[in-house]
Amino acid sequence: MHIKRVIIKGFKSYASQLDFDTFDSGSNVIVGKNGAGKSNFIEAIRFVLASDSYQRKLSSEEKKTLLHTGAGGSTLLGYVEIEFDNSDKRLPLDTAEVVLRRSIGLKKDEYTLNGRRAEISDVLSLLESAGFSRSNPYYIVMQGQVAQLTKMTPAERLDLLKEVAGTRVYSERREESVKIMTETLAKKEKIDEVMDMLADRLKELESEKEELSEYRNLDRERRAFEYSIYNHQLQDCVGKLQSVDEERAEQSAVVGQKYAELDQVRNELRAAQSDLLTIADTLSSIDGQRDALLEERKVLLQQQAKATLDLQDKESAMKLTSTSKSGVTKQLREISAQVKSSHTKLAKLAKDFEAVSASEQKLAQEIGSVEGRLKDLLSRAGRQGQFKSAKERDAWIKKEISDIKMQIQRKEQQAQNLQERIRELENRREEDRQLIATRSKGLEERRKALEDASADFEEKKSKRDEFNSKRKELWREESEIDVLIQKHTEHLRKAERRLQSTMSKELAAGLATIDRLRSEGTAEGVYGPIIDLFDCDDKFMTSVEVAAGNSLFHVVVDSDRTATRLVNTLNDEKGGRVTFIPLNRLEVKDVSVTRTEQVKPLVEVLRFKSTFEKAFMQIFGKTLLCGSMEVAANVARLNKMSCITLDGDQVSSRGAMSGGYYDPTSSRLLAHKEVKKFKDMISTAKQQREELRTRISQLDQRIDSAVAEVASADAQRIKSREDLDHFDLSCRNAAKQQLSSEEGVIQANRSLTEVRVSVQALKDTQASLEQEMTMPLTEMSDDERNELQDLSKKLPKLRQQLFEIGQKRISLEGEKTEVENALSSHLLPKQDQLESALASGQLPDVDDAAHVRAELEKIDEKLQTLNQKIDALSEKKEESRTQESELRSAVEALAAQEDALSSEVDVQSRIMDKLMNKRHNLTQKREEATKRLREVGSLPADLTAKFSGKSSAECLLLLHSTNQKLKGYSHVNKKAFDQYTSFTDQREALVQRKQELDESEAAIANLVDTLDHHKDEAIERTVKGVSKYFSEIFSELTNGGKASLIKLVSEGKQKEVKGIEINVSFAAGRVQKMSQLSGGQASIVALSLIFAIQRCDPAPFYVFDEIDPALDDSHRRAVALMIQKASEPKIIQRVESGQVISEETQTQFIMTTHRPELVEIADKHYLIAFSNRNSSINVVNHDEAMSVIGLESVEESAQADSADAE
């Protein structure tokens, strides 16, 4: 066995020494500078091996000094680990390698052996079994121990050898034996005192035994009477209990029936109340629908009033103008016929007018000619008196002719101008005629375009109105759903408040916080409360709720990490308190139970996901559902499980019963069911509302598109109308221009005719004057007179004719003007107006009125439909009112019935309670009677049979008589027999105990003598052995020196050894004592003694910490050679089972030194270096180790020289 490696972490100067090359099984030397950590390395080995002061419990300050303190501060935890080679099985373990670790912290100090925790006492025992005796302090030799040994007194040396001999064990056992002997003597004295007291007491009890015998006979009779009385009471209680159980069973059936009736009434009441709420919602919905319909009817009535007024306006306009669309067409035909007839009449009138005008012009010319001739004749007749001569006359005539010629010239020029004007007007008239023809065709095209645009506008407007109607209907449905959601939300809040009233405020706040976190998406891994995760039939709700209790609100999560995070969140937000069930921490055991019709696990009536099975098994897995309390009591007793009935009555696994009436109105599961129902209804309604809003949104888009199309069509219609109006205006202007041109032609022709007539008259006058010049200035001839007379007669006639023709012309002109005015101011504008109105659709016509009338009929139909709906809603409202009234009456009746049944149930419950109390009292009496029977104890059968036929009253009388007799023995010691027997037994036991103590005292005295003898033998043997090895080793180390251990014996008969003196003589020297030796000589003597002790009590390895600093070179070499020799492998023989077995063994040495001698003989070398407040140990070769020693020697020499110089 030897040390293979030492691992150090956080111990003294070693921060982390995890890599370590194994020690050699022979000699190992460790070198390094002073302060590098060599002693700390040896200290680490002592720490693990619990050497000296490390065997006891260390204080906090001592632990703190052992922990490593580096540049980063103190280490909080450290350890030292030693790995042993146990191939020789010196340590009584089955492994070839043994790892022993000792860990240390400010509050920690523990051992681990091969990875398992071990106590320090176990470690010390293990090491001692391998040869590390606690009585031998020298298998680890620290600095100063050699010097300390040189300074020991003889008495201290003797104590050391006693320690080596193991006398401490003998001393400790002797002290324990002496202590036991002292205690034994004290016990013997106490026993003697007690035995004397018992002897006196036994004498007294002898006299009390006779009276006690008589007393016992009477007492047996008393007990027999009591037994009979208690037995009668027991039988009476059993009979009454049976009656009570029968009555209770009958009452239970009655109560069960009443409970069933009450539950039925309450279910009907809840159903009626639910129906009442539904009807209230229906009424509210009806009111909302009716209000919406009334509002829509109001709008339709406004539209109806507007349409009615529009229809009246159009009909009035039609009456005033005698037009309508069909009438316009007819009127247009009539107007067109009138225009045509007027044009025909106008042409005829124009022709007649022209003929009459020509006749009038011809007659006017003739009258002019006649008047001219007549004027000439009269002038000629007058010129006879005017002029004196023909010459004067001729001169005047010439002047007149000259003036006439000028007038004719002007008139002819005027006629020429008029002809040119006529040509221009005729050309313009032809152009206007052609323009009118062209524009009439374009006007028809624009009228057709306007008709198409108007039709498109009306179509798109109708489509828009249809979409608007659909949207209004959807809005009304959305409003109804909003009202429904509002009602459901109110019911949900009431249900939530009812549910929250069944839990504490902290729990409600906690669950609200968890719900908020889940809605925010920050509660990953949370599945929700138990109450949200399962469902069951209504008949099991009471049993499930009672069994679960507050566990219904425990929140299931995936892991304890999630639960910890949520608990921290609740604490940070002060969000209430919640109990969490982490699924990863649940370990549910399978519970086997025999299932019957009356018994099954409660968890089997629940419906939940398999993910949550552990949670539900944790809460409900140990509860059974039973058909009745009797079955529950038996099953709970047999299976040691909690049982529950459908009514919620419980029997715990220990037999405790709880139950009674459970009010379903305060049920958490029912409240939660209500909450869930309204949440589902709200969710469904919101989904419907979202679908409606989607449809409304789609319809809005279609309406927007339709409005845009209507606007576009309206713009096109307006543009077409404006184009038609502009074109129509140009057409009318062209027609007016044509009429103006025609009128101008007529006026110009009339003016031309007048001018021509005037020219002809002037020419006739000119001719007459020229003819007169040829005639002499004489009186008229007869022919001229006759002509003047004829002309004077003819002229009035012609003038009359001209007047008549003028009147005719004026009449024709009046007719012609009238026809022209009718055409220009009435017929043609009317024709244009009707044609434009017919094209634009703006004229009040039959079709427009029909359209308005159709719209009005649609409105009337809608109003009729709305009125029907309103009437239907009113009827439905009345029906709902009637149903509401009936339901209210039913609710009141059911409530009254519930109160009555509740009162009956209360009465029956009180009866049941009384029966239960009575049964409880009888049970207590039965138990009390049974208890008293047990207290009476067993009696002889003949004695109990003797009084079995007597009644309870007779037994009471006999008991009273016996008690009176017993009063006479009140002074008797009731326990005399027992005390006598007890004291006798005690006396015998004390006698036996005293004998045992005497034997023990003799054995202890013998043991003390034996221990003293063994102690003396051990000391003698150790002194002799150590003295022998001391002499041999000293001679070997000093090359022939002599040394011996001398016992110092006290004077007197005992000859007690008081100390050990050492006498030595070096080669060829005198004998000297330790006090006479130099430091080096004393050190070699001390080392010799240490080696001698080690040979007496050998160990598998030795640890030396600088044992050679005080030795001279020769002694160091001698010590080194001795260690080298001791570390070499050896063959030893031992006898086992009668056979001689040879084994190779080797002693390991681990040494630190500053001298070369130990380095020279070492099998392996190590160097300890110190850097950055951290020590480290590494393997080096022989030369490297010697160089370190040499460098240290140089440094020491330099320091010595410096000291000498100073």
What is the reported pLDDT for 839?
A: 53
- Summarised one tens digit per residue, pLDDT across range 924-935 is 787 787 877 777
Tokens 């050391």 belong to which residue? Answer: 160
- Summarised one tens digit per residue, pLDDT across range 41-52 is 988 988 888 877
Q: Which letter, b or e, does each residue of 580-603 get, where b requires 16 or more Cβ atoms within 10 Å of its Cβ?
A: bbbbeeeeeeeeeeeeeebbbbbb
pLDDT above 90 for 1166: yes
- Summarised one tens digit per residue, pLDDT across range 784-794 is 667 767 777 77
pLDDT above 80 for 349: no
Separation CA 647–CA 668 (nearest Å): 15
Which has more confidence, 817 or 477? 477
pLDDT tier at 323, thresholds 50, 70, 90: very low
- What is the average pLDDT across 261-266? 77
- Summarised one tens digit per residue, pLDDT across range 698-749 is 888 888 888 888 888 888 888 877 777 777 777 777 766 766 777 777 777 7
Q: Which of 80-89, 623-632, 796-805, 944-953 has the lowest mean pLDDT?
A: 944-953
- Summarised one tens digit per residue, pLDDT across range 45-76 is 888 888 777 777 888 888 888 888 876 667 88
pLDDT tier at 996, thresholds 50, 70, 90: confident
Which residues are CB-contacts of 500 (< 8 A; sequence separation ≥ 6)? 508
pLDDT tier at 394, thresholds 50, 70, 90: confident
Provide DSSP, 1193-1205: HHHHHHHHHHHHH
160 token code pair: 């050391």
Facing residues of 1136 across strands? 1139
What is the reported pLDDT for 678?
A: 85
Helix/strand/coil for 350: helix
What is the reported pLDDT for 322?
A: 47
CB 25 within 8 A of CB 85: yes
pLDDT above 90 for 404: no
- Summarised one tens digit per residue, pLDDT across range 454-466 is 788 878 888 888 8
Question: What share of the chain has pLDDT > 90, as a percent?
Answer: 5
829 token code pair: 């504008």
pLDDT above 90 for 28: yes
Separation CA 1087–CA 1119 (nearest Å): 8
Which has more confidence, 105 or 763? 105
Strands 1139-1145 and 1148-1152: unpaired
Q: Which of 216-225, 311-320, 631-640, 696-705 has the lowest mean pLDDT?
A: 311-320
What are the phi and psi torsion angles at 831 (to 5°)?
A: -60, -45
Separation CA 1005–CA 353 (nearest Å): 191
CA distances from 738 to 561, 820, 836, 1075 (A): 105, 12, 20, 172
Burial of 1136 (C-beta count, 10 Å sphere; 0-12/13-18/19+):
exposed
Radius of gyration (C-alpha) of the chain in whole angstroms:
74
Tokens 């199309």 belong to which residue? Answer: 709
Facing residues of 80 across strands? 8, 102
Taking Cα atoms as reference points, which of 779, 959, 47 lies closest to residue 381?
A: 779
What is the reported pLDDT for 1008?
A: 72
What are the phi and psi torsion angles at 747 (to 5°)?
A: -60, -40
Separation CA 21–CA 41 (nearest Å): 14
CB 1025 within 8 A of CB 136: no
CA distances from 346 to 419, 742, 811 (A): 23, 12, 13
Tokens 């001169």 belong to which residue? Answer: 395
What is the reported pLDDT for 1152?
A: 92
Separation CA 413–CA 843 (nearest Å): 53
CB 489 within 8 A of CB 682: yes
- What is the average pLDDT across 748-769? 75
* Span between the terminal Cα atoms of the chain, in Å: 52
546 token code pair: 């009672």
Highest mean pLDDT of the ranges 259-263, 409-413, 801-805, 1003-1007: 409-413
CB 1102 within 8 A of CB 1140: no
Separation CA 386–CA 886 (nearest Å): 137
Helix/strand/coil for 141: strand
- What is the average pLDDT across 394-415? 80
pLDDT tier at 6, thresholds 50, 70, 90: very high
Q: Which amino acid is at 777?
A: L
The CA-based angle 633-636-642, given to 5 degrees, is 110
Separation CA 140–CA 52 (nearest Å): 10
CA distances from 1013 to 156, 157, 1018 (A): 22, 21, 9
What is the reported pLDDT for 662?
A: 65
Chain centroid to CA 1121: 81
What are the phi and psi torsion angles at 94 (to 5°)?
A: -85, 5
Helix/strand/coil for 32: coil
- What is the average pLDDT across 313-342? 64
What is the reported pLDDT for 100?
A: 93
Which has more confidence, 1187 or 776? 1187
808 token code pair: 């005719």
- What is the average pLDDT across 772-787? 68
Q: Is the pTM of this model over 0.75?
A: no
Separation CA 467–CA 710 (nearest Å): 12
Chain centroid to CA 1140: 81
Separation CA 340–CA 327 (nearest Å): 19
Separation CA 644–CA 622 (nearest Å): 11
Strands 1164-1171 and 1174-1180: antiparallel
What is the reported pLDDT for 824?
A: 65
CB 228 within 8 A of CB 950: yes
pLDDT above 60 for 549: yes
Which has more confidence, 618 or 760? 618
Question: What share of the chain has pLDDT > 70, as a percent?
Answer: 81
What is the reported pLDDT for 214?
A: 65
Which residues are CB-contacts of 899 (< 8 A; sequence separation ≥ 6)? none
pLDDT above 80 for 542: yes
- Summarised one tens digit per residue, pLDDT across range 131-168 is 776 666 677 888 777 777 778 888 887 777 777 666 66
What are the phi and psi torsion angles at 1053 (to 5°)?
A: -75, -35
- Summarised one tens digit per residue, pLDDT across range 214-258 is 666 666 676 777 777 777 777 888 888 788 778 877 777 777 777
